A and B are shown apart, each in its own frame.
Chain A
Amino acid sequence: MRKILNSLLLAAFIAVILFASRWVGQQAYSWMPPQATAEAKQVDEIFSFLASIGTFIFLGITGIITYSILTCRAPKGDWSHGHPARGSAKLEILWTVVPTILVLWLSVKSFNIYEQINIQGLTPVVHLHMEEPANAAVTSNDSKPVGEVIEVFAKQWAWSFRYAGNVSTTELHLVVNEPVSLALHAQDVLHGFYVPEFRLKQDIVPNRTITINLKPNRLGKYRLHDSQFSGTYFALMEANVYVESRQAYNQWLAVAASRQPTIASNQASAEHTQPKTIFNSRWHTFEPAEPSVVNYSA
């Protein structure tokens, strides 16, 4: 009788945490910013999957511990011993093998998704190797068409972009549903390319060009952040990203091309000349790099 009751309880417990994990897995999508690239969807899928497995493990173990806390208390001052079990080969093997299988499964799934993202563009940095001079141009070596190449320049602490026809700007414009290659350059220190809605991140290393390929698929205005700490005004190193239709893009590019190059304003320089905090340390800091000269700046 007791045994049946116990099994029933256990079954109910597992059912509840299974349900909870599923629910968390579904909720997980809403914890992320909107998906603006084809790649984003897959990243969210793997996250949802990880979140549900994680919830299951977390609730399972905390559930058992909570149950013990609630039901297995010793009376105060009674230090007599509990169960004599020192171990159980069966159980120990079980809880070694099951997590092994689980993590292998997780890795294979992550690997597949990583590969799929690759197919759609995120080129792995293939040329870390010796044969290649570090200052070679675009290192993308796949034969499939990767679309237009836009060059991205990072320096302390400003972004600039160069499009076909030598048009330079301080905004990144991309065409919706068209693959694009971004060739990333850094002038002084490490920087990082990150647009949360794109779910991609890539560090940029001076004296080396790293290319990432992606395909935006959602119209809108986003924010590009520097994601690798780059010094004093790191937080201010941002730029607007517009994903727009082909027409809008072409129009904008034409306008940009027609403008005379001017010196772009940037936030870091502005703040450098006018700090405004309650406490000022007066620690000397690196001056922001020379502002870029661009055709178009917001």
Chain B
Amino acid sequence: MANSTHSDESPMPLEKLQRFMPNWLKRFLPSGGGRAHDHHGKSMFGFTVFLLSESIVFLSFFVTYIALRLTSPQWLPPGVKGPDLSTAVIINSVVLVSSSFVIQAAEGALKRRQMKKFRWLWFTTSAMGVFFLVGEVKEWLGLDFGLSTGQVGGTFYLLTGFHGLHVFTGILLQIIMLVRSFIPGNYNKGDFGVSASTLFWHFVDVIWVILFSLVYLWRA
């Protein structure tokens, strides 16, 4: 028998590999066990996994969009202009994407416990999110096609609507965190809520970049 001794060393020495990993990745491979007390790391890990899973739903919608668009003999029904890359949409997108930097700065401020700055930046992020949503609703109201207009209508409202729902959720999370920041001692046990909302917001923005390229930049 080649190895009848008990060798419990892994053939892929995960523990040893960890040394060569960047910090953020290392966090996700607690290989030796005995990390149950790291509540922040654990929660962030769980939330990241959830977002990865969530992104597959978006992926399935993107795939649907691409497949339908490639196979439809006529993407835009006669008389329909389709989603328009107007200045409003561009401004909207710029606001949303730049809010990612604002929220990052807010999280940084919290780490340094600069509460005033944190609340101010955090609030700005939410305001930018609201601006985006309002802009999107305005755009919806001005369009010349509906949900059941060819494939363009269905996919457009589905993609932007599902994304909008996420923006809305993100704003809700931010408001909750903002209110909670006034509770004394709220951050004694760590600031998982803030880190998670920030990550979520980045996620929403990345999705928007993809969505924007697919829906507005892809010209027939």
Are A and B in contact, CB atoms below 8 Å, in the complex? yes
Residues of B within 8 A of A133 (CB): 73
Task: Determine whether A84 belongs to the interface, using a CB cutoff of 8 Å to chain B.
Answer: yes
Q: Is the CB of A87 within 8 A of B2?
A: yes
State the Cβ distance, B100 to closest chain A Cβ, in Å: 35
Q: Are B2 and A89 in contact (CB under 8 A)?
A: yes
A-B pairs with beta carbons under 8 A, tally: 24
Question: Residues of B at under 8 Å CB distance from A?
Answer: 1-6, 70-71, 73
B-facing residues in A122-153 (Cβ within 8 Å): 130, 133-135
In the bound complex, do residue A90 and residue B71 qualify as a contact, i.e. CB atoms below 8 Å apart? no
Given the complex of chains A and B, what is the CA–CA distance between A114 and B15 in angstroms? 48
**Chain A interface residue bracket vs B:** 10 to 19
**CB atoms of A134 and B6 under 8 A apart:** no
Q: Does A86 contact B (CB under 8 A)?
A: yes
Q: Whose C-beta in chain B lies nearest to the C-beta of A89? A: B2
Task: Considering the complex, give the chain B residue whose CB is closest to the CB of A87.
Answer: B3
Q: Is the interface of A mostly helix, strand, loop or mixed?
A: loop
A133 to B4, CA, bound (A): 64
Of the candidates B3, B71, B73, the one whose C-beta lies within 8 Å of that of A86 is B3
Q: Verify B2–A130 contact, CB threshold 8 A.
A: no
Q: Which residues of A contact B (CB under 8 A)?
A: 84-90, 130, 133-135
Quick check: B4 and A85 within 8 Å, CB to CB? yes
Q: Is the CB of B3 within 8 A of A89?
A: yes
Complex alpha-carbon distance, A89 and B70, angstroms:
50
Please, which residues of chain B bring their CB within 8 A of the CB of A135? 73
Is the Cβ of B70 less than 8 Å from the Cβ of A86? no
The answer for the CA separation of A90 and B3 in the assembled complex, in Å, is 10
User: Which A residues lie within 8 Å of B70 (CB)?
Assistant: 130
- Chain A residues within 8 Å of B4, by CB: 84-86
Decide: A134 and B3 in contact? CB cutoff 8 A: no
Q: List 11 A-B contacts (CB under 8 A).
A: A84-B4, A85-B4, A86-B1, A86-B3, A86-B4, A86-B5, A86-B6, A87-B1, A87-B2, A88-B3, A130-B71
